[in-house]
Amino acid sequence: MVMLLLLAVVPGTVLADDAAMEAIGAKAATVAMDRLGATQGDENLLAMTDASTAMTGNQTTERCLSGVTAVSGCTIGDGNLLIPQRSKFAPLWFMFYKKDTGEAVFLQVNESAAARPAAAIRTMPAGEVFGPIAKAQISARHLLENQSAWTTLLEKKTFAGNEFSLITIANMWADPTTPYDFLRAASFHNHLCPGVTSGYLISHYVEERLPIEAPTQSYKVIACPVWCKDDLFPIVWDATPGKRSFFVKDLSAVEKAALKKNLGTDVAGIYVRWDAATKTGDGMVVGYNWTRSNELTGTADWDGNPLLAKLVMDLELIEYTDKPEAVVSTLKEFRCESPEEFSTLTYAGVNPLKVLGVEA
């Protein structure tokens, strides 16, 4: 009985804050859609926010998503509500992008406004709830034709420092051929760069050569060396450090250069298809050829803004999902006959490439 009474009181206090969060999400959508000329359910509209990852004070912010969805119609199920990963300490923001016009509106929440009750948030002027509110043309085509517009956005921090992150992900979303698992990995990585795309191509390459054929099989990854690609595998393969299916081992710049010189490609990492039933694994050391990657995407002799080259590479490289061998290669194949044998590759202080005989 005491328990029931406590429960009756506590949800009430939580609901008050949640209603404020919902009002913030709804207001962000209302203001942005008004400025973009968008209507509810507009198939050209994308909503992005760090709500649910960022916190305001001690308050979690997931209820903002309900407000965004109620007004805009954007949902996770429709693939038009993306949540790029941020720290809990990051400011709370929203961005809405209309792919047919290429225009986006960004709104960052004033922390003082987030502490107000829902009713106040609904009636407050937008400029008091959000600051800054920025509108910009961000379509890849426009930015490639007007490179100064791109550098201005970045230099002026038009989206409060989120420009690269949001512009890359929004443009990839706008391309109807971009798969959702890729957008999810990019969202987890916080931004989209050719590094994540290289991880996507590597994952398809490994899946083709070492396919998962039984429920007892799963992939283990030894990221050696480390780059942005490695944020993809926890998302698409559920390979995570805590479950000992993801090991991170970086190499020095000197080691990487020496390996590249010897092997003619960049070493990307070690990928093992592990079978929990037989306690054995089939592995590959995989290379990713960045030189070839630049050639294929026309960014080898890029003299414009280097971050814009990354956007170009993102848009071009994804086309190689079904032919990853254009840039991905096998440097070595091996077997692990026991868990102990696999573990020798993963311990601290061990260079697993040397153990496997892949050396400069």
Q: Closer CB to Zn ion, residue 164 or residue 274?
A: 164
Q: Closer CB to Zn ion, residue 193 or residue 201?
A: 193
Q: Is 195 in the site for Zn ion (CB under 5 A)?
A: yes
The DSSP H or E segment spanning 316 is helix 306-317
Q: Round to whole Å and give the CA distance between 217 and 220.
A: 10
Asked whether the beta carbons of 312 and 298 are under 8 A apart, the reply is yes
Beta bridge partners of 247: 222
Q: Is 283 in the site for Zn ion (CB under 5 A)?
A: no
Q: Is 166 in the site for Zn ion (CB under 5 A)?
A: no
When binding is defined by CB under 5 A, the residue of 48, 228, 286, 315 that contacts Zn ion is 228
Per CB under 5 A, which region of 84-92, 123-131, 224-232, 344-352 contacts Zn ion? 224-232
Q: Is 193 in the site for Zn ion (CB under 5 A)?
A: yes
Q: How far is CA 83 from the centre of its chain?
A: 9
Q: Round to whole Å and give the CA distance between 184 and 194.
A: 15
Which residues, 6+ apart, have CB-to-CB distance to 342 below 8 Å? 220, 272, 274, 281, 336
In this structure, the number of other CB atoms found within 10 A of the CB of residue 83 comes to 19
Selection from 92, 84, 127 nearest residue 108 by Cα: 92
> Which residue of the chain is nearest Zn ion when measured via CB?
228
Q: Round to whole Å and give the CA distance between 72 and 43.
A: 10
Selection from 61, 31, 34 nearest residue 49 by Cα: 61
Length of the chain: 360
Per CB under 5 A, which region of 88-96, 165-173, 185-193, 238-246 contacts Zn ion? 185-193
Least separation in angstroms between residue 286's CB and Zn ion is: 19
Least separation in angstroms between residue 191's CB and Zn ion is: 6
Q: Is 36 in the site for Zn ion (CB under 5 A)?
A: no
Per CB under 5 A, which region of 49-57, 172-180, 192-200, 268-276 contacts Zn ion? 192-200
Beta bridge partners of 326: none
Q: Closer CB to Zn ion, residue 72 or residue 293?
A: 293
Per CB under 5 A, which region of 17-25, 56-64, 193-201, 254-262 contacts Zn ion? 193-201
Per CB under 5 A, which region of 98-106, 180-188, 226-234, 245-253 contacts Zn ion? 226-234
Q: Closer CB to Zn ion, residue 67 or residue 195?
A: 195
Q: Which residues bind Zn ion (CB under 5 A)?
A: 193, 195, 228
